Amino acid sequence: MTQEVVEKLIDITNSQIKSLKSSHDYMSMILSSYVYDVAKVTPLTHALNLSEKTGNKIMLKREDLQPIFSFKIRGAYNKISSLTEEEKARGVVACSAGNHAQGVAYAARHLGINAKIVMPLLTPEIKWKNVQNMGSEVILFGDDFDGAKAECERLCKEEGLTNIPPFDDPHVIAGQGTVGVEILRQIRPSEVYAIFTAVGGGGLISGIAAYVKRICPQIKIIGVETVDSDAMYQSLKAGKPTLLDEVGLFAEGAAVRIVGEENHKVSSEFVDEIILVTNDEICAAIKDVFEDTRSVLETAGALGTAGMKKYIELHNLKNKTLVSVASGANINFDRLSFVAERAELGEKREVLVSVVIPETPGSFYKLYQAVHPNNVTEFSYRYSDSSKANIFMSFNVKNRALELPAILDKMTSLGFEVTDISDNELAKDHGRYMIGGKSHINDEHLFSFQFPERPGALNKFLSGIQSSWNISLFHYRNKGHDTGRVLAGIQVPPGPGQKDSEMPPNFYEFLKNLGYTYTDETNNPVFKQ
């Protein structure tokens, strides 16, 4: 698409261009961006199955079909194109372990510019090789993103390279804003009720919002974040960019601790709402998009669809036209099993329960009959007590609100103790894999940890365990990203003058020095069973 065609996409009158809180004229910047030298106009496709399921007209903006399978190519190329000839001659540098790295590498190759991409040491080989194959020099440095970022800053200062930021830059925002231009060209704007998109640092949503809200202010712009990585939600609530102490990494492409200053300015004026979703809801959205397109989105790429589905449910929307930006499809293959496992829970079509039944003949059959004719998808049991049997069980439902209460009531009427644990992360991550009977151990406390997937992480944990402490339980599970889930039972005798249930101060000092995210699960009902 030529520059002239882009500028003629929509006729902008002077009366439509008003001052923004930001000092930048994003309308002009977006319409005059150079993204189409490398990016393509992606289709806006009708998701027939999802439309029928939700009772609305669902349109998917297919940014997963870009040359690097992500929208990131737009902002990266527009930023690099804006550099002076002198800056281009010196070269560029970027810090990223994801789609931004590929966007910068692809853009630099097209423009014949030297590029260095700094990535953490433990970046999966497939990711850094993809960047390397695009002609950029890959520098593996640091144990995490902060370490890589420090090296990126050093290269800028010492070698005179220009940093290409992932989101907090007007040219990056303008490049991403071309997504909004295309949407309004591909569908009658008056039909659109809302546009949903993933939010990380805020580049994509601020670009789309800056354009769409100037043309069609009635269209809602709704951002989507995960419940444990909600930097934009917290920032808009606080009225300024807010630094998160920790971020969840499941939707790693949108996991940032703080949004950009410029992104916050634009979003605070034009974004209508931020909606938060769970990991299970993301997995369900990946499945929904797959069933309509046969494409597998990455977790961050499915945020828009997950948030759209939740918004529909919360507001009981019907007969509306909604656009969801499918922002990327660079998913790690080893994550697919986890996505498939959690999709049914996210769709609320699978129920996970903990049931205590008498250890007598016929009890299993009665339990099965309480669920029948629903399909049983999992049944975990091991003998441990002569009087009671503890069971983890999952089964499918078509209408959770109608079917589940009746099933639980039937189990209760049979004298079974039943608990719905579908939303219990301990059960989903660990409990269902650890059927072996309850252990009666004194002074045992249970903690779940997020271990970084790097050499020495387990050693750091074990070396800190004092000789008077004992590990009584240990279960590890990797979800296919850079942290693993660990459940650990630790016997810690109380300190002098403390009650049996109290933990000595030196144990909490150990947890603090460890530096890993943790949760005390000792009183979790799944553990108690």
> Which residue type sits at 114?
N
Q: How far apart are alpha carbons 365 and 376 in whole angstroms? A: 13
DSSP 206-271: HHHHHHHHHH-TTSEEEEEEETTB-HHHHHHHHTS----S----TTGGG--SS--HHHHHHHHHH-
295 is catalytic: no
Closest CA to 309 of 64, 55, 45, 71: 55
Q: How far apart are alpha carbons 453 and 459 in whole angstroms? A: 12
Burial of 381 (0-12, 13-18, 19+ CB in 10 A): middle
> Which residue type sits at 329?
A
240 is catalytic: no
Cis omega (within 30 of 0) on the bond before 165? Answer: no
Count of residues for the chain?
529
Strand ranges (DSSP E) for 69-114?
92-95
Q: How far apart are alpha carbons 1 and 351 in whole angstroms? A: 49
- Single out the catalytic residue among 61, 72, 116, 220: 72
Helix (H, G, I), strand (E, B) or coil at 516: coil
Q: How far apart are alpha carbons 423 and 381 in whole angstroms? A: 20
Which helix (H) or strand (E) segment holds residue 153: the answer is helix 145-159
Q: How far apart are alpha carbons 381 and 183 in whole angstroms? A: 52
Q: How far apart are alpha carbons 469 and 475 in whole angstroms? A: 18
DSSP code of residue 142: S
Token pair 């369900």 is at which residue?
284
CA dihedral sign of residues 41, 209, 296, 188: negative
Q: How far apart are alpha carbons 274 and 300 in whole angstroms? A: 15
Instruction: Tell me the backbone φ, ψ of residue 222, rounded to 5 degrees.
Output: -120, 120
290: which residues sit within 8 A by CB, 6+ positions away? Answer: 296, 297
Q: How many CB atoms lie within 10 A of CB 130?
A: 18
Find the angle CA(147)-CA(151)-CA(157) to the nearest 5 degrees: 145
- Single out the catalytic residue among 81, 96, 235, 327: 327
**Rounded CA Rg of the chain:** 26
What are the catalytic residues?
Answer: 72, 327
